[in-house]
Chain A
Amino acid sequence: MAIEHADVLRAAHLARLGLDEGEAAHYLDDLGRILEMVDQLQALDTEGVAPMAHPLDATQRLRADEVTETDQRDDFQRCAPAVENGLYLVPRVVE
Chain B
Amino acid sequence: MHDKTLTELAAGLRAGEFSSRELTQDLLGRIDRLDGRLNSFITVTAEQALATAEQADAARAAGKAGPLTGLPLALKDIFCTRGVKTSCGSRMLDNFAAPYDAGVVERLADAGTVSLGKTNMDEFAMGSSNENSFYGPVKNPWDLNAVPGGSSGGSAAAVAAGLVPAAMGTDTGGSIRQPAAFCGITGLKPTYGRVSRYGMIAYASSLDQAGPMARSAADCAQLLKAIAGHDGRDSTCAARGVPDYPAQLDAPLSGLKIGLPREYFGDGLDPAVESAVRDAIKVYESLGATVMDVSLPHTHYAIPAYYVIAPAEASSNLSRYDGVRFGHRCEDPADLIDLYKRSRAEGFGDEVKRRILIGTHTLSEGFFDAYYKKAQQVRRLIRQDFLDAFDEVDVLMGPASPTPAFDLGANKDPVSMYLQDIYTIAVNLAGIPGISVPAGFAGNRPVGLQVLGTHFAEAQLLNVAHQFQQATDWHLRRPAFAEESA
Contacts and interface: CB of A to CB of B under 8 A. Distances in A.
Interface of A: 1, 3, 7-8, 10-12, 14-19, 27, 30-31, 33-35, 37-42, 44, 46, 49-56, 58, 60-61, 63, 72, 75-76, 78-82, 88, 90-93
Contacts of B193: 55-56, 58
Contacts of B429: 55
Contact of A88 (B192, B305, B325, B415): B325
Contacts of A88: 324-325
Nearest to B413: A33
B222 to A, nearest CB: 25
13 contacts: A3-B361, A7-B361, A8-B361, A10-B364, A11-B364, A44-B378, A52-B383, A53-B206, A54-B206, A79-B98, A81-B328, A90-B336, A91-B335
B360 A56 contact: no
Contacts of A38: 304, 307-308, 362, 371, 375
B396 to A, nearest CB: 16
Interface of B: 95-100, 192-193, 206, 232, 235-236, 238-239, 298, 300-301, 303-305, 307-308, 315, 319, 322-329, 333-342, 344-346, 348, 353-354, 356-358, 360-362, 364, 367, 370-371, 373-381, 383, 413-415, 418, 429-432, 455
Contact of B373 (A19, A51, A61): A51
Contacts of B414: 30, 33-34
B361 A18 contact: no
Nearest to A27: B357
Nearest to A19: B345
A55 B344 contact: no
**Which 9 A-B pairs rank lowest in CB-CB distance, beginning with the nearest?**
A55-B431, A18-B345, A51-B376, A18-B341, A81-B329, A46-B377, A52-B380, A16-B340, A11-B360
Given A35-B358, A61-B239, A81-B323, 15 more contacts: A11-B361, A16-B344, A18-B341, A18-B346, A37-B303, A37-B418, A38-B375, A41-B371, A41-B375, A54-B431, A60-B235, A75-B99, A76-B325, A79-B95, A79-B99
B370 A1 contact: yes
A93 B322 CA distance: 15
B162 to A, nearest CB: 34
B-side interface mostly: helix
Contacts of B323: 81
A16 B337 contact: yes
A37 B156 CA distance: 30
Contact of B319 (A11, A15, A37, A80): A15
A27 B345 contact: no
Contact of B415 (A27, A34, A42, A46): A34
A51 B206 contact: no
B301 to A, nearest CB: 6
A80 to B, nearest CB: 6
Nearest to B371: A38
A39 B303 CA distance: 11
A50 B357 contact: no
B304 A40 contact: yes
B370 A55 contact: no
A56 B360 CA distance: 25
B226 to A, nearest CB: 22
Most buried by B among A31, A34, A54: A34
Nearest to A38: B304
Q: Give the one of B342, B361, B375 with max A CB within 10 A.
A: B361
A18 B380 CA distance: 36
Contacts of A27: 353-354, 357
Tell which of B377, B381, B432 has the most Cβ of chain A within 10 Å.
Answer: B377
A49 B383 CA distance: 12
B308 A17 contact: no
Given A18-B342, A61-B239, A90-B324, A34 B307 contact: yes
B234 to A, nearest CB: 11
A63 to B, nearest CB: 6
A54 B206 CA distance: 6
A11 B358 CA distance: 8
A8 B356 CA distance: 11
A74 B235 CA distance: 26
Contacts of B301: 40-41, 44
